[in-house]
């Protein structure tokens, strides 16, 4: 059968996967702390054929051969950890990480998970949690009589109570960073988990050792750029189309062949 058909098939499949990633990126344009996915492709292995019989005019063996590629394949998706734009919200429970680092939370399977979405909330017991209720690590409990809450650039959380003018320190938020954040496993819900590829987590105080500072009253927006995604989408769609054209050309060739050999 015509190998061009299977090769084109890999191209069509790859573009299909790319469209899926683009759709997901666009859907998350307004997700706080979202990092866009980028689909990476690689050419499949080549059949390198040497034709030992092929001799050049002057009798020397020419180094001619055929390298038939087998198409393309998706190597994987890569989270692009560029910073999203900061949105000022004015809410005292919102923190944005300006720079590298993740907040550590208690993950869904008991293992630590990491997030950059800083919409903090209070659990019924007064503990700081993410918007979805995962507890921040180390745990910080806000007393019931707290009047206002301040989070410093270095993560120190302090409160004031009604009958005391002096602020009272109740804990410190810490940040975690990885050698290769792109290797983190995206769990959904804005959470990431450590993998063999990401390297071990290193924890530290915000603003030190290359960790980002915390900014109270702001949130980090999604780093998806709509125009870029739209252009990518057009390119993917047209590439899809052209690959299907080759597919039908290959099909036509087979049809002509079948008609010729009655």
Partner 1 sequence: MDALIYTVMSGAERIQRAQAVHANNLANMETAGFRANLEQAGAAQVKGYGYDARHLAKARSDVVSARAGSQRDTGRDLDLAVEGEGLFAVTQDGPSGREAYTRSGNFTVDADGTLRLGRHAVLGEGGPIVLPPHDKLEVQADGTISVLSNGQPELQTVDRLKLVKPPFSQLTKNEAGLLVTRDGSTPAADPAVQVAKGKLESSNVSAVEEMVATMNLARDFELQMRLYKAADGMADTGNRLVRE
Using CB under 8 A as the binding rule, whether residue 221 contacts partner 1 is answered as no
Using CB under 8 A as the binding rule, whether residue 234 contacts partner 1 is answered as no
Specify the residue, 94 or 232, whose C-beta has the smaller distance to partner 1: 232
| Residue of 133, 138, 143, 210 interacting with partner 1 (CB under 8 A) | 210
Closest-CA residue to 183 (of 200, 172, 196, 168): 196
Beta carbon of residue 208, minimum distance to partner 1 (angstroms, whole number): 8
Q: Tell which positions 142-201 bind partner 1, by CB under 8 A.
A: 179-180, 182-183, 196-200
Span of 24-32, 88-96, 157-165, 243-251 interacting with partner 1 by CB under 8 A: 243-251
Beta carbon of residue 6, minimum distance to partner 1 (angstroms, whole number): 8
Using CB under 8 A as the binding rule, whether residue 16 contacts partner 1 is answered as no
Using CB under 8 A as the binding rule, whether residue 237 contacts partner 1 is answered as no
Using CB under 8 A as the binding rule, whether residue 3 contacts partner 1 is answered as yes
Specify the residue, 17 or 187, whose C-beta has the smaller distance to partner 1: 17
3-state secondary structure the chain: CCHHHHHHHHHHHHHHHHHHHHHHHHHCCCCCCCCCEEEEEEECCEEEEECCCCECCCCCECCCEEEEECCEEEEEEEECCCCCCEEECCCCCEEEEECECEEEEECCCCCEEEECCCECEECCCCEEECCCCCEECCCCECCCCEEEEEECCCCEEEEEECCEEEEEEEEECCEEECCCHHHCEEEECCEEECCCCCCCCEEECCCCCCECEEEECEEECCCCCHHHHHHHHHHHHHHHHHHHHHHHHHHHHHHHHHHHCC
Using CB under 8 A as the binding rule, whether residue 243 contacts partner 1 is answered as yes
| Residue of 43, 125, 139, 169 interacting with partner 1 (CB under 8 A) | 43
Specify the residue, 35 or 215, whose C-beta has the smaller distance to partner 1: 35
Helix axis angle for 3-27 and 226-260, nearest 10°, is: 160
Using CB under 8 A as the binding rule, whether residue 7 contacts partner 1 is answered as yes
Instruction: Decide if 119 contacts 130 (C-beta within 8 A).
Output: yes
Q: Tell which positions 91-110 bind partner 1, by CB under 8 A.
A: 99-100
Span of 67-75, 84-92, 129-137, 144-152 interacting with partner 1 by CB under 8 A: 67-75
Beta carbon of residue 222, minimum distance to partner 1 (angstroms, whole number): 14
Instruction: Decide if 164 contacts 152 (C-beta within 8 A).
Output: no
Beta carbon of residue 112, minimum distance to partner 1 (angstroms, whole number): 17
Beta carbon of residue 151, minimum distance to partner 1 (angstroms, whole number): 22
Instruction: Decide if 190 contacts 118 (C-beta within 8 A).
Output: no
Span of 10-18, 112-120, 144-152, 164-172 interacting with partner 1 by CB under 8 A: 10-18
């Amino acid at each position: 059968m015509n190998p061009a058909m299977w090769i084109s098939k890999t191209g069509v499949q790859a573009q299909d996967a790319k469209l899926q990633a683009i759709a997901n990126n666009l859907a998350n344009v307004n997700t706080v702390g979202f990092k866009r996915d980028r689909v990476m492709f690689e050419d499949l292995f080549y059949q390198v054929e040497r034709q030992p019989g092929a001799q050049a005019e002057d009798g020397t063996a020419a180094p001619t051969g055929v390298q038939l590629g087998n198409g393309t394949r998706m190597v994987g998706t890569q989270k692009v950890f560029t910073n999203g734009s900061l949105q000022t919200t004015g809410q005292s429970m919102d923190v944005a990480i300006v720079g590298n680092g993740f907040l550590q939370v208690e993950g869904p399977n008991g293992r630590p998970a990491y997030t950059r979405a800083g919409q903090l909330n209070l659990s019924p017991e007064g503990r700081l949690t993410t918007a979805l209720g995962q507890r921040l690590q180390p745990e910080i409990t806000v007393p019931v009589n707290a009047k206002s809450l301040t989070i410093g650039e270095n993560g120190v959380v302090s409160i004031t109570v009604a009958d005391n003018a002096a602020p009272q320190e109740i804990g410190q938020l810490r940040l975690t960073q990885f050698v290769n954040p792109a290797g983190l496993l995206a769990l959904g819900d804005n959470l990431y988990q450590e993998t063999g590829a990401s390297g071990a987590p290193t924890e530290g105080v915000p603003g030190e050792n290359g960790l980002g500072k915390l900014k109270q009253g702001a949130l980090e927006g999604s780093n998806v750029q709509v125009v870029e995604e739209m252009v990518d989408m057009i390119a993917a769609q047209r590439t899809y189309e052209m690959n299907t054209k080759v597919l039908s050309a290959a099909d036509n060739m087979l049809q002509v062949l079948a008609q010729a050999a009655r």
